[in-house]
A and B are shown apart, each in its own frame.
Chain A
Amino acid sequence: MRNLTAIILFCLVLLPAPLLIQSDFWITWLTLALFYAYLGQAWNLLGGYGGQFSFGHALFFGTGAYCTAILQIHFGLNAWGGFVLAAIAAGLVGAGTGWLVFRYGLRGSYFALVTLAFAEVFRILANSFEFTGAGVGLLVPLQPGFAQMQFETKAGFFWLLLALVGACLLFTYWLQNARFGARLMAVRENEDAARALGVDPFDTKLRAITASGAIAGSAGAVYVQLFLYIDPNIAYGPAMSVEALLVPIIGGLGTIFGPVLGAFALHAIAEIGRLAFGDAPGLNLVLYGILLVLMVLFLPNGLFGLGKVSFGLGSLRRLFKGGAHA
């Protein structure tokens, strides 16, 4: 119940933000933070709850982005329709790769590398064909208005992403209490033990990667409407994959609010970095890399792990006691 209240509170607090904040800069900042939170939520479903660390979530993001862009440019499909089809297409790609990868029992680091290789294959393919715009990329025509998911004000995208993140929060909340979630977490903790208890790891992981792919694909669809441009490196390059995994790892793997917390923390840090070092290329990614290393070394449970250690009353008392004895 506490989590549900927190989800509702989170949405209610952010809902009036575009009306209260006048600066375009901050609305864009919040919108992007929400976007990466959404992408991170997709990764968290498979990586955080399922324990399958994907290094190639750009595979799904890019498929969704290209799907909606191509449908819109070549077939004149409405962006909302494209959004739904992008989710379906990316979900299918997720199911396809998942079927192959899990069918042959790839786990751990091998799973990570194979997802990366799949993303690279798609990047090369997107780079080589005319209808994906090859290396030049695709420009989506500007048609402002709700009907094409291109809002006239910045607030529109903000609310769209807030709705998506909110929906994902609710989905994750459901997951934590559902039978499927329990099976998924059992597979994460110990696949063989889960199998012994009658859980089908293959089926469970396949569902997780399909759902995760669909969510990441829909994030790609939103990205295309937001930036009106996509090329093979943005879509399938490693940057998006890193961002997708960094967000939940920093926030807290396998927690409801981890990706949201991670995305806001990450982008706050990136902003501070930009203020401190200027807009030099690469530097904010250096910061991301340092964060990733530090998080894994010292805070493997993410910022939420930090919260549990230092703000949980029991551990706080233990901390003080330990301190008194030392």
Chain B
Amino acid sequence: MLELSILLPAILNGLTTGAIYALIALGLTLIYGVLHIINFAHGSLLMLALYGVFFLHSLFGIDPYLALPIAAAALFAVGYGLQRLIIGHASHGKDENILLVTLGLSVIIENLALYLWRSDTRTIDTPYSFEVVDFGVAFIPVPKVIAFFGALLVAALLWLLMARTDLGRAIRALAKERQGAKLVGINVEHIFAMSFGIGCACLGVAACLLLPSFYVSPQVGHAFVLVAFTVVVLGGMGSFVGALLGGLIIGVTESLGGLFLGESLGQLGIFLIFIIVLLFRPTGLLGQRA
């Protein structure tokens, strides 16, 4: 029988990682829910955000948590621009074309990063990097605790934005009924780009919460993109609560998988969940009908 003293820390650790996954997946699910497109460049944009936060820290000495508004605003602008200038014109009536264009974008971003910053893995040092919080059963590093609650807070704010503001209402209207939204005077192009921008802003926040306890390298986006897809698919495409729940489940799965099967094989669980959910329950845990 496995001892609880190993199991519980693994679960707690998994939950903190899972909250970050959830945050990344929230952006993805928002973009999917409104635009009905799958943004393959999501992971690369996260990598870009991580580099942004890294350089803000190493060049200007800005603490990652203070960089949060800058990163979120910058990523919002990038996302808005990408949708307005490139992705919005790419479909030619076929969803696959969007996937191809975002794949192309991710290849560009990833390899440009490789060219500019080489494939070194970089981390930052903060005074609180090695401080821990005692949870009784386990010691969890402070940055991970902040990341966990920060991610939940942002998720709540996002929900407020969607539920209570005019922008949120416009986004939801567009997600439900494109034609009707257009008829009542919603600027479709603008709201599409706004949704894409907000989805990307989540990545900016995630990058700030992630960097103090993680690293950045040009390939890091790749590790996240399939995980984020898995979370979204597991939770149900377009479902907010689903993304939160899915993120936590995947985080714990990964942590326990790593515990039982080792670092390399442990990742297998995520992809198997992805394949199995898509095959047998494509609506996910909380998704509406496909």
List residues of A whose CB falls within 8 A of some B CB. Answer: 53, 55, 100-101, 104, 106, 108-110, 112-114, 116-118, 120-121, 124-125, 127-128, 238, 242, 245, 249, 280-283, 285-286, 288-293, 296-297, 300
Separation of A300 and B264 alpha carbons in the complex (Å)? 39
Separation of A282 and B282 alpha carbons in the complex (Å)? 36
B96 at the interface (CB under 8 A from A): yes
Once the chains bind, are A290 and B108 in contact (CB under 8 Å)?
yes
With A117-B271, A124-B268 known to touch, is A293 a contact of B101 (CB < 8 Å)?
Answer: yes
Choose from B100, B104, B229 the contact partner of A53 (Cβ within 8 Å): B100
Interface residues of B in 240-290 (CB under 8 A from A): 262, 264-265, 267-268, 271-272, 274-275, 278-280, 282
Separation of A118 and B279 alpha carbons in the complex (Å)? 12
Interface string of B1-26 (1 = CB under 8 A from A): 00000000000000000000000000
With A127-B264, A242-B103, A290-B104 known to touch, is A300 a contact of B278 (CB < 8 Å)?
Answer: no
Once the chains bind, are A113 and B115 in contact (CB under 8 Å)?
no
Contact count band on B = 35 or more
Residue of B nearest to A114 (CB): B278
Q: Tell me which residues across on chain A come within 8 A of B107, comparing CB atoms.
A: 242, 285-286, 288-289, 292
Interface centre among A100, A113, A116 (most CB of B within 10 A): A113
State the main secondary structure of chain B at its contact with A. Answer: helix
| B86-94, B146-154, B167-175 - the one binding chain A | B86-94
Separation of A282 and B218 alpha carbons in the complex (Å)? 10
Once the chains bind, are A124 and B279 in contact (CB under 8 Å)?
no
**A58 vs chain B, min Cβ distance (A):** 13
State the main secondary structure of chain A at its contact with B. Answer: helix
With A104-B280, A242-B103, A292-B103 known to touch, is A121 a contact of B89 (CB < 8 Å)?
Answer: no
Separation of A125 and B268 alpha carbons in the complex (Å)? 8
Once the chains bind, are B89 and A110 in contact (CB under 8 Å)?
no
B213 at the interface (CB under 8 A from A): no
Q: Tell me which residues across on chain B come within 8 A of A280, comparing CB atoms.
A: 115
Once the chains bind, are B100 and A286 in contact (CB under 8 Å)?
no
Q: Tell me which residues across on chain B come within 8 A of A290, comparing CB atoms.
A: 104, 108
Interface centre among A124, A280, A283 (most CB of B within 10 A): A124
**A190 vs chain B, min Cβ distance (A):** 12
With A128-B264, A286-B111 known to touch, is A117 a contact of B275 (CB < 8 Å)?
Answer: yes
With A118-B275, A120-B271 known to touch, is A289 a contact of B100 (CB < 8 Å)?
Answer: no
Once the chains bind, are B90 and A112 in contact (CB under 8 Å)?
no
B99 at the interface (CB under 8 A from A): yes
| Contact sample, A vs B, 28 pairs, CB 8 Å cutoff | A53-B96, A53-B100, A106-B282, A109-B98, A112-B99, A113-B278, A114-B278, A117-B278, A120-B226, A121-B268, A121-B271, A124-B271, A128-B265, A242-B103, A245-B100, A281-B118, A282-B114, A282-B115, A282-B218, A286-B111, A286-B115, A290-B108, A292-B103, A293-B108, A296-B90, A296-B100, A296-B101, A297-B101
Choose from B95, B110, B280 the contact partner of A108 (Cβ within 8 Å): B95
Residue of A nearest to B275 (CB): A117
Q: Tell me which residues across on chain A come within 8 A of B98, comparing CB atoms.
A: 109
Separation of A112 and B262 alpha carbons in the complex (Å)? 28
B84 at the interface (CB under 8 A from A): no
Separation of A269 and B254 alpha carbons in the complex (Å)? 41
Once the chains bind, are A300 and B97 in contact (CB under 8 Å)?
yes
Once the chains bind, are A297 and B282 in contact (CB under 8 Å)?
no
Once the chains bind, are A296 and B229 in contact (CB under 8 Å)?
no
With A118-B275, A120-B226 known to touch, is A297 a contact of B89 (CB < 8 Å)?
Answer: yes
Q: Tell me which residues across on chain B come within 8 A of A291, comparing CB atoms.
A: 104
Once the chains bind, are B279 and A100 in contact (CB under 8 Å)?
yes
Q: Tell me which residues across on chain A come within 8 A of B118, comparing CB atoms.
A: 281
Separation of A120 and B118 alpha carbons in the complex (Å)? 24
Given contacts A121-B275, A296-B101, list 20 more A-B pairs with CB under 8 A.
A100-B275, A108-B95, A108-B96, A109-B38, A112-B96, A113-B229, A114-B274, A114-B278, A117-B278, A121-B268, A124-B271, A242-B103, A245-B100, A286-B112, A286-B115, A291-B104, A292-B104, A296-B92, A297-B89, A297-B101
